A = this chain, B = another copy of it.
Amino acid sequence: MTDTQMRRAPSQKRSRDRVDAILANATGMIAETGSDALRMSELAQRTGISIGSLYQYFPDKSAIVHALAERCNEDSRACIAEGLSTVTSMEGLAAAFGTLIDTYYAIFLAEPVIRDIWSAVQADGALRAMEVEESRRNGGLLGARLKALRPATDPSKIDATALLVMHLGEATMRLAVSVERAEGDALVEAYKRMAIRELTAL
């Protein structure tokens, strides 16, 4: 939730509460009716503010979707950073990575709205680059660990692999929650095998 996407930095407490309420209601609407059905007028109405006020906090619809996605990203980044923080060996990294994916998958299953928020991001031309940016950040976290564990390996190869593995992790999650549960579980397992094999082969 950077400043740039806020039209006006909320200085009063009421303002901050309103921003939170707006985002909470936006999340609720997306969860209920899908990202395509997010209407600015309805969002204002639900939040109990006027359409004009809504646009004082967010310059446009993109900014709201961006804020929602950024929240998800912050959570996942924290989760990844924490999961990898104690790793000191390649075996440890493999185990931590597996746990990480399981945790991430559990979150996706528990909060399907996350996938809908990502749909909203992809539906918005101005936000599509977010996905790559996020993969890059997550890949950076993984790549840093890998470089420490494999100082002899070409760093650019590590970067490419880390980026790819994290990006495909996201793709796997979205596919897995789009199919029936048992199949999704199998897909996640297959991804874990594949990714860990690739990482340990570095």
Chain A residues with CB under 8 Å of chain B are 34-36, 119, 122-125, 128-129, 132, 135, 156-157, 160-161, 163-164, 167-168, 171-172, 175, 178-179, 183, 186-187, 189-191, 193-195, 197-198, 201
Contact = CB atoms under 8 A, between A and B. Distances in A.
A-B complex: 3 closest residue pairs judged by Cβ atoms = A36-B125, A171-B171, A160-B186
Given A164-B191, A198-B197, A186 B156 contact: yes
A160 B190 contact: yes
Grouping DSSP codes into helix (H, G, I), strand (E, B) and loop, the A interface class, with mixed when no group exceeds half, is: helix
Contacts of A191: 164, 168
A190 B148 CA distance: 20
A172 B164 contact: yes
B135 A157 contact: no
Contacts of A122: 119, 122-123
A175 B186 contact: no
Nearest to A162: B190
A154 B198 CA distance: 23
Given A160-B183, A164-B187, A178 B36 contact: no
Contacts of A187: 160, 163-164
A183 to B, nearest CB: 7
Contacts of A129: 178
24 contacts: A34-B125, A35-B125, A119-B122, A119-B128, A122-B122, A123-B124, A129-B178, A132-B179, A135-B175, A156-B186, A160-B183, A160-B187, A161-B190, A163-B175, A164-B175, A164-B191, A164-B194, A167-B172, A167-B175, A168-B168, A168-B191, A193-B198, A194-B194, A197-B197
